[in-house]
């Protein structure tokens, strides 16, 4: 009998499900659900870097996508052996004692502080700074050392501390907090004891300062120095964590009925999207997998023997088992990648949206046609003209920090900058400078890994940017001076989640074995162009100089 598995991948804007044949990794069906409340930008305030999502967006998407792939694929329910969920992170949400999201309780339905705090929410910069100061000064264990030595406002404890200080009503009504990947897994599974529920090693280790060497989460004495609430919350969280090849439970009857499945289906422990994406792209020793979308996550794996007691400075953590059980997962990334170009597109499109598409001269049908044409051609046309600009022509120098800097050395207070603009600077010149910036940001990450003794031999790109923009990928190959392979799958994170599900369901013995059979092949490879490598090396120095100046000024003003 055929055996199938489902991978569910929650991104920033949408969730997608894939039905995968465990025998060969073939995709039988896929479905995407765009979050309606998020699309309307409810509960968000970009001016203060607040980005919250209502859990109903995710619950509705869960039901729609899995039910849809079941219908499309026409497979028998009993042949679906496992489901695994990956999500963005750190994206924690408050829940009540019975595991209900607080935003689904009376009185909290429209309260942003009761929502899921999305990974890109940077309202907790002050709290992250406090955590870093305390970790270095309190005289005990430095709980940040396995997370690059710098705790970020994008992560678990900083976000909770910020909400706790801002909204006592949320604190009083909350029993515990769950990472997004843990909550969706809990929702599906038949294990309903919150204390015993298997939390994700990936989420806990990379974002919540969990480590086996100090017995799990940071000590209550440390947390209480930040806020007594954090110390009391610790008792309602967890001590042990689990890797995604393990079983979190079986599909409960309520959701089996909703999805057209059986209660025999195994639910694997949840994980983060980038880590699942690396598995979907057949990550191996000395390979850097770049998940390239609105932001990037850069994932590597290493043996415990190779890493030893060494801690890599300025990255987003090193966690045993977070990618492949038995190996150390290393994570870095950029807070904005595709978002840098999306910001520029929004700036250029302002007069179109406000003057053209709001015009009474055009009919609604004409406006719709014009909007579709702009969407299909805008970035492509900019990229074509930017690519045609000779390297000898003066192009501005830009920084990629439009949403702060994740790595190396997290600092969400940093802002972007552009220098070298003249009367001859046109939109394609600025676009080219922004493409250079996101590639230089990637180079800084690669250099940090190698400076810390982590060898990189192969770079693999996955995600929408990797597959859709040859211009960016060729620029990246030139900047890194390394070949870059592009994974064939449109849904590498969802595929990676399906691989975890196949192992948890007992179809394969381990993740490496399953990944070799089910993982994505490669559709393209970009090689450095010798004539451009040296020019980009010189431009990189200008990027560094601008970055040093901006960082110095930021430090003076904070």
Q: List Cβ neighbours of 370 (8 Å cut-off, separation of 6 or more).
A: 356, 357, 362
Strands 458-462 and 287-292: parallel
DSSP 238: -
Backbone angles phi, psi at 200, to 5 degrees: -70, 125
Please count the other Cβ atoms lying within 10 Å of the Cβ belonging to residue 541.
Answer: 11
How big is the CA angle at 197 (ends 226 and 299), to the nearest 5 degrees?
70
Helices and strands per DSSP (H, E), number in the chain: 20, 20
Residue 308: pLDDT above 80?
no
**Nearest of 283, 197, 208, 292 to residue 499 by alpha carbon:** 283
pLDDT per residue over 501-529, tens digit each?
999 999 999 999 999 999 999 999 999 99
Residue 146: pLDDT above 80?
yes
Give pLDDT, residue 480: 97
Token pair 């929650």 is found at: 10
Give the C-alpha separation, 215 to 196, whole Å.
16
pLDDT per residue over 408-439, tens digit each?
998 989 999 999 999 999 999 999 999 999 99
Identify which has the larger pLDDT, 64 or 491.
64
The predicted model scores a pTM of 0.90
Identify which has the larger pLDDT, 545 or 355.
545
Structure tokens at 173: 């009504």
Give pLDDT, residue 126: 96
Answer whether 483's CB lies under 8 Å from 459's CB.
yes
Give pLDDT, residue 294: 85
Q: List Cβ neighbours of 42 (8 Å cut-off, separation of 6 or more).
A: 54
Please count the other Cβ atoms lying within 10 Å of the Cβ belonging to residue 502.
Answer: 32
The dihedral over CA atoms of 465, 469, 474, 476, expressed in degrees to the nearest 10, equals -30
Structure tokens at 223: 């947390």
Residue 179: pLDDT above 90?
yes
Share of the chain above pLDDT 90, in %: 86
Helices (H), 243-351: 253-259, 273-280, 304-307, 338-351
Answer whether 87's CB lies under 8 Å from 180's CB.
yes
Answer whether 50's CB lies under 8 Å from 115's CB.
no
Give the C-alpha separation, 166 to 379, whole Å.
39
């Amino acid at each position: 009998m055929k055996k199938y598995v489902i991978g569910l991948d929650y991104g920033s804007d949408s969730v997608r499900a894939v039905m995968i044949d465990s025998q060969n990794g073939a995709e039988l069906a896929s479905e995407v659900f765009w979050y309606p409340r998020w699309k309307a930008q409810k509960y968000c305030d970009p001016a203060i870097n607040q980005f919250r999502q209502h859990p109903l967006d995710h619950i509705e998407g869960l039901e729609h996508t899995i039910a849809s792939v079941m219908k499309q694929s026409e497979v028998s329910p009993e042949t679906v052996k496992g489901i695994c969920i990956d999500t963005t992170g750190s994206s924690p949400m408050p829940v009540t004692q019975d595991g209900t999201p607080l935003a689904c309780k009376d009185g909290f339905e429209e309260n942003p502080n009761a929502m899921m705090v999305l990974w890109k929410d940077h309202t907790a910069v002050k709290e992250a700074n406090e955590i870093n100061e305390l970790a270095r000064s309190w005289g005990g264990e430095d709980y940040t050392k396995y997370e690059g030595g710098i705790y970020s406002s994008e992560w678990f404890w900083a976000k909770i501390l910020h909400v706790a200080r801002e909204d006592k009503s949320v604190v009083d009504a909350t029993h515990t907090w769950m990472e997004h990947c843990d909550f969706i897994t809990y929702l599906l599974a038949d294990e309903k004891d919150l204390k015993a529920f298997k939390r994700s090693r990936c989420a806990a280790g990379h974002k919540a300062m969990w480590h086996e060497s100090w017995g799990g989460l940071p000590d209550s004495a440390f947390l209480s120095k930040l806020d007594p609430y954090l110390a009391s919350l610790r008792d309602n969280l967890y001590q042990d964590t689990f890797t995604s090849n393990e079983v979190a439970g079986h599909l409960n009857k309520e959701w089996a009925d909703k999805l057209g499945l059986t209660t025999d289906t195994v639910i694997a422990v949840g994980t983060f999207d980038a880590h699942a994406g690396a598995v979907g792209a057949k990550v191996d020793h000395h390979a850097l997998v770049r998940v390239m979308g609105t932001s990037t996550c850069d994932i590597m794996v290493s043996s415990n023997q190779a890493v030893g007691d060494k801690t890599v400075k300025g990255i987003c953590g090193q966690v045993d088992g977070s990618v492949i059980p038995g190996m150390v997962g290393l994570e870095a990334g950029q807070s904005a990648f595709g978002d840098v170009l999306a910001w520029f597109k929004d700036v250029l499109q302002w007069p179109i949206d406000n003057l053209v598409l709001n015009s009474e001269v055009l009919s609604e049908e004409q406006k719709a046609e014009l909007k579709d044409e702009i969407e299909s051609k805008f970035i492509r046309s900019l990229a074509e003209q930017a690519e045609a600009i000779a390297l000898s022509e003066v192009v501005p120098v830009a920084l990629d920090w439009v949403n702060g800097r994740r790595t190396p050395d997290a600092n969400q207070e940093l802002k972007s900058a552009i220098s070298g603009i003249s009367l001859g600077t046109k939109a394609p010149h600025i676009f080219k400078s922004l493409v250079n910036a996101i590639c230089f940001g990637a180079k800084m990450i690669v250099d940090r890994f190698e400076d810390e003794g982590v060898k990189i031999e192969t770079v693999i790109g996955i995600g929408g940017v990797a597959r859709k923009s040859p211009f960016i990928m060729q620029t990246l190959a030139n900047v890194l001076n390394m070949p870059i392979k592009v994974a064939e799958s449109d849904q590498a994170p969802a595929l990676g989640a399906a691989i975890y599900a196949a192992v948890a369901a007992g179809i394969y013995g381990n993740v490496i074995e399953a990944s070799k059979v089910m993982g994505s092949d490669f559709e393209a490879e970009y090689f450095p162009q010798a004539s451009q490598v040296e020019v980009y090396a010189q431009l990189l120095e200008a990027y560094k100089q601008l970055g040093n100046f901006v960082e110095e000024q930021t430090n003076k003003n904070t």
